[in-house]
Amino acid sequence: MKDFNINIIPCLNDNYSYVISVGRDALVIDPSESKPIINFIEKNNLELKFILNTHHHFDHVGGNLELKDKYNLLIAGNENDKKRIPGIDIFLNETEKFVFNSHEFQVINTPGHTSDCISFYVKSMKSVFTGDAVFSLGCGRLFEGSPNEMWKSICKIKSLPDDTNIFCGHEYTMNNAIFTKAIIDNEAIDLKIREIKKLRSNNIPTIPTTIAAEKKLNIFFQADSDEIKSLFSKELINDEEAFKMIRLAKDNF
């Protein structure tokens, strides 16, 4: 039986933080700011025990210190990001397990957006929290990593079970869908755009998406597809080259 709740907390302009509760105990992934988190915690009478950070960007750690000040909590992030994540207490890596009330948060290194971006895969929740590595219909910009690194990161996420829910750091889905339609105009993307419009006009997040859905529609997931490759190059190119071209096309879109 499901003993947990994953709550989407909109923050700043288009960020999502996630409060995960098991009974009264809670953790928050990427608190962009403290206020909306505090409101949620107080309203639902929860006890905030941990902050988990996917990477060091301000719109993901902005609430760290204020929340730490207010609650008796610990902050966990990539050990390689210990100089960049405010208030970090717990140093994570791919081999160490982070367990929260019997739910195991597996750390997956997903560099590309930053050099030390991590994702959290929680098998018992059928969920992965990707920060700015993977978005619905998109992926993060390459601020500190190479296209090769990012493609490898995407392949790791892609290899998770199809029914895994993806919770990402931003509501960028519509913008990504418009880009997708410009590249590959088909019925599936039109349908998706209609769906997104309906959700967003009712102020409902398009998140979570799933691995299965992204495999079908996320063009960045398809850099290994001959059909997609042929849209970018007449010559034979490898997956990494294709990915690089897709990323570049999106950067210039």
Which residues contribute to the site for Fe ion (CB under 5 A)?
59, 132, 169
DSSP reduced 3-state for 231: helix
By a kind-dependent CB cut-off of 5 to 8 A, residue 138 interacts, out of Fe ion, Zn ion, none, with: none
149 binds, among Fe ion, Zn ion, none (CB under 5 to 8 A by kind): none
Quickly list H helices, 31-146: 35-43, 58-61, 64-70
Q: Which two tokens stand for residue 243?
A: 């990915």
> How far is Cα of residue 251 from the mean position of the Cα atoms in its chain?
19
- Least distance to Fe ion from the beta carbon of 54, Å? 9
Q: Tokens in use for 61? A: 């750690």
Quick one: what does residue 116 bind among Fe ion, Zn ion, none, with the CB cut-off 5 to 8 Å set by partner type?
none
User: Of the candidates 44, 50, 2, 46, which has an alpha carbon nearest to the alpha carbon of residue 29?
Assistant: 50
Q: Are strands 74-78 and 47-52 parallel, antiparallel or unpaired?
A: parallel
| Minimum distance, C-beta of residue 143 to Zn ion, in the bound complex (Å) | 7
Binding to Zn ion, residues 180-239 (CB under 5 A): none
Copy the structure tokens of residue 29: 């992934």
Min CB(213)–Zn ion separation in Å = 22
In whole angstroms, the minimum distance from the beta carbon of 224 to Zn ion comes to 25
Nearest Cα residue to 87 out of 50, 42, 45, 116: 50
| Interface map 113-132 toward Zn ion (x if CB under 5 A) | -------------------x
Q: Measured from the CB atom, is 30 or 239 closer to Zn ion?
A: 30
Residue 241 as a binder of Zn ion (CB under 5 A): the answer is: no
Residues of the shown chain interacting with Zn ion in the complex, contacts defined by CB under 5 A: 57, 132
